[in-house]
Structure 1
Amino acid sequence: MNKPKERIFIVGDSEPTYRVAANTLGAGQETVLLTANTNQALSTIEGIRGSNIHLLTLQADWPDTILCDVAIAITAERMASKRNVIQQLACRLDDDAVIAINTDSILLDELQMGMAQPHRILGLNWSYPADLTLFLEIIANAQSDPASIDRLATMGREVWGKDPYTVHGGFSTRARMMAAWAREAIYLVENGYASMESIDRACRNDAGHYLPFAGNFRYMDLMGTYAYGMVMSDLNPELAKITRIPDDLEEQLIDYASRTGERDTVFRRFSEEIRQLILTYAHETIDH
């Protein structure tokens, strides 16, 4: 097949999907977006500055063939949904096209299992809003094609304006770190040690202050690892191991979220400003 270079195929039905499309469009790439909600997708993308809407093709049905170099899927965190989308893509793409799908809790090995060309299937996680954040997590394993990994990492860094990193263990490190943080927050609120507002302030005014500048390991270097070792030796045995959000707390979370006002508009403005701040204090690149 003769296919246009750097033409991106994206499939998904959520706002995060449409913001990924806005990111690829903003980078000047022809983008085909397959979604059941074409009107919502168009409205979202049109509302994002510099999204080059003329490069967008919207589709509501699967085409017979997909003439793209990279296919990006964003689905619900369900095994059947993800495997179905991968199969739909695999039978329509050229053999050398990369299939990249979001996955937080499902191992890449499980998504590759039984697929004709497992080496070209990679995990690819984004952060909201995908058109502004620097985050891009590539998930690979022993079966993964090194050229496909490099292809995604290079595109993320040089075309999409991301600061990508690659995890070679077949699972998301972002998801594990965020889950540990959320688990402890839920435990503290559920047991009456702190309110949701207090937890949010603690995270925002401490970790939220330094994380745009330094990750966990750089922060330990700045603060001193001895203090961390002393705290963890006493605290770790007491940390939560819960596996679900209690029903009553879930209702409180819904009510708490509804009180945040014009969060989308404010958060977008914040995201634009924090991106510039992070870029001002860029760290040295270690992992390509």
Structure 2
Amino acid sequence: MKLPYHSVAVIGTGRLVHEIVCCLLQAGHQVRVLGSSKIDLAELLGPTDAVEAVDELLGHLVVSEDLGELAPVDLVILVTPEDLQAKRESLQTISQIVAEDAVLAVNTESFALEELRADCTGPARIIGLNWVRPAHVTLFAEIIATSDTPAYLLGPLMYLLENHWQKDPYVVYGGRSIRSRLLAAMIREAFFLVEQGYVGAEDIDRACRNDAGYYMPFAGNLRYMDLMATNVYGLVMEDLNKELATGKSLPPFFQEIFHGNPNPGMESGKGFYSYQEGSGEIEEKNLLVFAHKIRALMDRFPFPRGKQSEETPTVKDSMPFTHKNRSL
């Protein structure tokens, strides 16, 4: 059976793009990648996969630099830096090249979908699609839609994500990412605790890794609260919420990390921690091994679907974030 959105183009650079391409090839798509160098599928798939299998997948991959070759594709996945102007210009250009019924999916953490698709041809067919690395292993997939996103567009995409891309996806109809909001709230509180001198970076990491790191893959946040005793969390939050950080700017200690180093992290040797040369490459390999093991464990304990309370409003009926929070 032919897959929905059988022909897919992936545009962008970096490891995430390579992992997305790997995910699509494993699902059986014809993939065209623009902007990336040679993709090492053998490294991504691991030593257990036969050379013949890698060669077969590569037979469905075309590497190109010509945007004009996007015309016949069914789906374009765009991966760009978090730069509003760059995303808008790319979407405007691509929307004029591809067919009228082609779907455009762009990663976006901080920008609303309405902002990104302004002045594009066929804006309703543009959606947000966020990934987590390594994208060919993790369950995460976040689709961002709006009230005018056609159901006939989302249906086949959700089918693909669940049945062929091996994801556990969700759709946000508010036009913005929820993953980034949740992460930003946690990081803001972590920065506040470090800035006030309560803890250091290592303490933050240990608290997150050794507590939430255990139960998150099993249950998520709210289901874990139900498991442990929901009322207890309610009592704690009633008192604690009054004291949580509300800052709107980056703390000086974090800004200091960027002085003289515009791209801090393991590859540069300095971020929140100091690293030896080659640490980034070693940890990338460790991350891939770890991701495969965690994924195998999560597959043994799948997250139940269709268990929402009848009193919980459906996502489709919820208002856009901009109506819920005027400060956005």
- TM-score under structure 1 length normalisation: 0.91
Distance of 1:20 and 1:65 partners within structure 2 = 17
Which runs of 5 or more residues in structure 2 are unaligned?
Answer: 258-264, 309-314, 316-328
1:234 aligns with 2:239: yes
C-alpha displacement at 1:77, in angstroms?
1.0
Say whether the 8 Å CA contact 1:112–1:121 is kept in structure 2: yes
1:13 aligns with 2:13: yes
Say whether the 8 Å CA contact 2:92–2:119 is kept in structure 1: no
Segment drifting more, 75-84 vs 271-280: 75-84
User: SS of the counterpart of 1:152?
Assistant: helix
1:273 aligns with 2:293: yes
Which AA in structure 2 matches 1:14? G
* 1:235-283 residue CA offsets vs partner (Å, 9 max, x unmatched): 1121112334334335557343543842111111110000000000012
Which AA in structure 1 matches 2:37? T
C-alpha displacement at 1:62, in angstroms?
1.8
Q: 5 Å matches for 1:109-120?
A: 109-120=114-125
* 1:71-95 residue CA offsets vs partner (Å, 9 max, x unmatched): 1001111111111111122111111
Equivalences, count: 281
Change (3 A) 1:258 1:17: farther
C-alpha displacement at 1:191, in angstroms?
1.5
Counterpart for residue 189 of structure 1: 194
1:259 aligns with 2:275: yes
User: SS of the counterpart of 2:240?
Assistant: helix
Say whether the 8 Å CA contact 1:118–1:143 is kept in structure 2: no
Which AA in structure 1 matches 2:173? H
Distance of 1:266 and 1:57 partners within structure 2 = 29
Say whether the 8 Å CA contact 1:7–1:30 is kept in structure 2: yes
Segment drifting more, 55-64 vs 222-231: 55-64
Segment drifting more, 244-253 vs 182-191: 244-253
Segment drifting more, 62-71 vs 17-26: 62-71
Distance of 2:272 and 2:174 partners within structure 1 = 36
C-alpha displacement at 1:225, in angstroms?
1.6
Counterpart for residue 48 of structure 1: 44
Q: 5 Å matches for 1:1-288?
A: 6-35=6-35, 37-39=36-38, 42-43=39-40, 45-49=41-45, 52-63=57-68, 65-251=70-256, 254-259=270-275, 261=279, 262-286=282-306
Q: Give the aligned CA root-mean-square deviation in angstroms.
A: 2.1
Say whether the 8 Å CA contact 2:9–2:70 is kept in structure 1: no
Say whether the 8 Å CA contact 1:70–1:97 is kept in structure 2: yes
- TM-score under structure 2 length normalisation: 0.80
C-alpha displacement at 1:213, in angstroms?
0.6
User: SS of the counterpart of 2:140?
Assistant: coil
Which AA in structure 2 matches 1:38? S
Distance of 2:192 and 2:70 partners within structure 1 = 49
Which runs of 5 or more residues in structure 1 are unaligned?
Answer: none
Change (3 A) 1:179 1:74: same
* 1:211-251 residue CA offsets vs partner (Å, 9 max, x unmatched): 00111110111111211111111111211123343343355
User: SS of the counterpart of 2:187?
Assistant: helix
User: SS of the counterpart of 1:279?
Assistant: helix
Which AA in structure 2 matches 1:277? L
Aligned-residue sequence identity (percent) comes to 37
Which AA in structure 1 matches 2:68? P
Say whether the 8 Å CA contact 2:107–2:130 is kept in structure 1: yes
Distance of 2:252 and 2:17 partners within structure 1 = 29
